[in-house]
Amino acid sequence: MDYGLTETQVMIRDLCRQIAEEKIKPVRQKYDETGEFPWDIVRVFAEADLCGLYIEEKYGGTGGGVMDLVIAVEELSKACSGIALSLAATALGAFPIILFGNETQKEKYLPRIAKGQALAAFGLTEANAGSDAGGIQTTAVPDGDHYVLNGTKQWITNGGEAEIYTIIAMTNKSKGARGATAFIVEKGTPGFSFGKKENKMGIRASATRELIFQDCRVPKENILGREGMGFIVAMKTLDYSRPGVAAQALGIAAGALEEAVQYSRQRHQFGKPISAFQGVQFMLADMATQVEAARALVYAAARHIDSGAKDISKVSAMCKLFASDTAMRVTTDAVQIFGGYGYMKEYPVEKMMRDAKITQIYEGTNQIQREVIALALIKEAAAAKRP
**Domain chopping of the chain, boundaries:** 7-119, 121-230, 232-384
pLDDT value at residue 386: 66
Backbone phi, then psi, for 299, in 5-degree steps? -65, -40
- pTM exceeds 0.85: yes
How many CA atoms are closer than 13 Å to the CA of 333, on its beta-carbon side? Answer: 28
Residue 374 carries which side chain, given as an amino acid letter?
A: A
Write down the pLDDT at residue 210: 97
Q: pLDDT class for 1, splitting at 50, 70, 90?
A: confident
Handedness of CA 199, 203, 207, 209 (dihedral sign): negative
How far apart CA 139 and CA 149 sit, in angstroms, is 6
The mean of the pLDDT values for the chain is: 96
Angle between helices 81-100 and 103-114 (to 10 degrees): 160
Task: For domain 121-230, say whether CATH 2.40.110.10 is its number.
Answer: yes
Domains 7-119 and 121-230 belong to one CATH topology: no
Give, for 43, the enclosing helix (H) or strand (E).
helix 39-47
If you count them, how many residues does the chain have? 387
Classify domain 232-384 at the CATH topology level. Butyryl-CoA Dehydrogenase, subunit A; domain 3 (1.20.140)
Q: Which of 75, 163, 210, 363 is catalytic?
A: 363
Residues 82-94 have pLDDT tens digits of 999 999 999 999 9
Region 136-145: mean pLDDT is: 96
Exposure class string for 72-96: b at 16+ Cβ within 10 A, else e: bbbbbbbbbbbbbbbbbbbbbbbbb
Question: Residue 237: pLDDT band by 50, 70, 90 thresholds?
Answer: very high
pLDDT over 70 percentage in the chain = 99
The CATH superfamily of 7-119 is: Acyl-CoA dehydrogenase/oxidase, N-terminal domain (1.10.540.10)
Which of 45, 35, 168 is CA-nearest to residue 118?
45
Known catalytic membership, residue 22:
no
Buried b (16+ CB within 10 A) or exposed e, 118-138: bbbbbbbbbeebbeebeebeb
Query: Phi and psi at residue 338, in whole multiples of 5°?
Result: -70, -15
pLDDT at 180: 95
For 148-179, the pLDDT digits (tens) are: 999 999 999 999 999 999 999 999 988 888 89
